[in-house]
Amino acid sequence: MARWHDPGPWYGRFRDRLSFDGAASRGVMSLRSCQRPGGRGWFYNFTAEPNGCPLRRVRIEFLLNDGARYPRVFVDGPTNSPHRYHADDGRLCMWYPKDPPSQRWVFKDGLLALIGQIHVHLIKEHLWRELGEWPGAEAPHEDPNERKAA
């Protein structure tokens, strides 16, 4: 007998959500999650305190219109950083989307791996603010002035 398959997003199926965030929910005590009103996304909130860095509140959003598999990561605190998409909303620019999967986070890595990458990013931002140089490899960023001129 064929099983019925729910075509909805992963976060609407308990088994899929547990598979994605199970290890993180056991390892990150402050982790909380909720569905966006209307079922159009899933959010995770937690506090992060990476080694030697100030405490930060983090929000991870998986939105249905983004395919529900591509996170948007927001962090409170200082937004001055060469790796933020928009200084006014605090969204992190954590990897170059065109890099191969081995060099960036992908959905199958799970939530705990994403939280680990967020911690590393926050440490790098903290060091950049103190030293004035980004520690580690960087992908090129498009100059918004060049985009307007084209």
- Structural domain span for residue 53: 13-134
In a domain, 145, yes or no: no
- The closest of 50, 18, 25 to 117, measured between CA atoms, is 50
CATH of the domain at 47: 3.10.110
In a domain, 98, yes or no: yes
Q: What is the pLDDT of residue 59?
A: 96
DSSP β-ladder status, 71-75 and 84-86: unpaired
Whether residue 15 contacts residue 5, with contact meaning beta carbons closer than 8 Å, is answered with no
In a domain, 142, yes or no: no
pTM summary value: 0.86
Three-state DSSP state, 108: helix
- The closest of 34, 57, 62 to 46, measured between CA atoms, is 57
User: pLDDT per residue over 13-47, tens digit each?
Assistant: 889 999 999 999 999 999 999 998 888 899 999 99
What's the domain count of the chain? Answer: 1
pLDDT range class, residue 145, cuts 50, 70, 90? very low
Lowest mean pLDDT: which of 84-93, 108-117, 125-134?
Answer: 84-93
pLDDT range class, residue 143, cuts 50, 70, 90? low
**Angle subtended at Cα 89 by Cα 141 and Cα 9, rounded to the nearest 5 degrees:** 90
In a domain, 5, yes or no: no
Q: What is the pLDDT of residue 147?
A: 38
In a domain, 1, yes or no: no
Distance (Å, rounded) from C-alpha 106 to C-alpha 113?
Answer: 9
In a domain, 140, yes or no: no
Q: What is the pLDDT of residue 149?
A: 37
User: pLDDT per residue over 50-103, tens digit each?
Assistant: 988 899 999 999 998 888 889 999 999 888 888 988 656 779 999 888 888 888
Distance (Å, rounded) from C-alpha 103 to C-alpha 85?
Answer: 19
Sheet holding 71-75, edge to edge: 32-35, 41-48, 56-63, 71-75, 91-92, 84-86
